[in-house]
Amino acid sequence: MSGHSKWATTKHKKAVIDARRGKLFAKLIKNIEVAARMGGGDPAGNPTLYDAIQKAKKSSVPNDNIDRAVKRGSGAEAGGAEYQTIMYEGYGPGGVALLIECLTDNRNRAAMEVRTATSRNGGSLADPGSVSYLFNRKGVVVLPKAQEDREADEDTVLEATLDAGAEEVNDLGDSFEVVSEPGDLVAVRTALQDAGLDYDSAEVQFVPSMEVTVDAEGAGKVMRLVEALEDLDDVQNVYGNFDIPDDVLESLDA
């Protein structure tokens, strides 16, 4: 969920020790399989696969599972499914805009489950193009402030990534988010590695161009909808244009 980056970061930490870890693992494995099918099974020549593997490793997915997914995707081992990406657009409570990205081997199942989860949680699906114009595709790299040998600061991160195409560096509390054009994602990630900075994730996301601030009640409703959608096997990512103020976020966490 990328509607509010701080919340997304908090949620990522919880997901690793969450009871739904198996579901998270399955989605990360699916990403690896698709990346290997699209660009080959060698991470050195397939940056999307490289980043999908890194993200899975950061979330403690076992190496055996990762290796098998690469083999299935690249055709070295039988059993890979034919996944396709489908993007649904919709509205959540309070008029919040949502993009729901699915990776599925069954379009009809994905459509039915997304529609049901959305309508049951106070949202509605919209026609293609209704809300997608409110989002831009961006490369997003998230890195922890607490590095192995030092504490990273904003100036260090900006200095390391500016020439590689970084557009902005956002402070997320315990981590930084480096935003770039999608085509500069690999260069930004590589620049961080060259500067000795470890990162948690590097991927292309849909970032809202304008945000809707929600109150405590609205935030609770939007969170329930997002979590219901993210709980679906076919849903890989949910992007929203909501902004949750820090005090509301803290009360939700409590």
pLDDT digits (tens, 9 = 90+) for 96-132: 999 999 999 999 999 999 999 999 999 999 999 999 9
Residues 167-179 have a mean pLDDT of: 91
Give the residue extent of every domain in the chain: 135-208
Handedness of CA 31, 134, 126, 11 (dihedral sign): positive
Distances (CA, A) of 71 to 33, 51, 181, 207: 8, 16, 30, 32
Question: Which class would CATH give 135-208?
Answer: alpha beta
Distances (CA, A) of 51 to 56, 77, 194, 201, 230: 9, 21, 16, 7, 21
Residues 207-234 have a mean pLDDT of: 91
Distance CA 44, CA 115 (A): 39
Separation of CA 152 from chain center:
23
pTM as predicted = 0.85
pLDDT tens per residue, range 203-219: 999 999 999 998 889 98
Distance CA 64, CA 145 (A): 30
Name the burial class of residue 19, with classes exposed (0-12), middle (13-18) and buried (19+) by CB atoms within 10 angstroms of its CB.
Answer: exposed
Does residue 172 register a pLDDT over 90? no
* Closest to 185 measured CA to CA, from 201, 207, 209, 208: 201
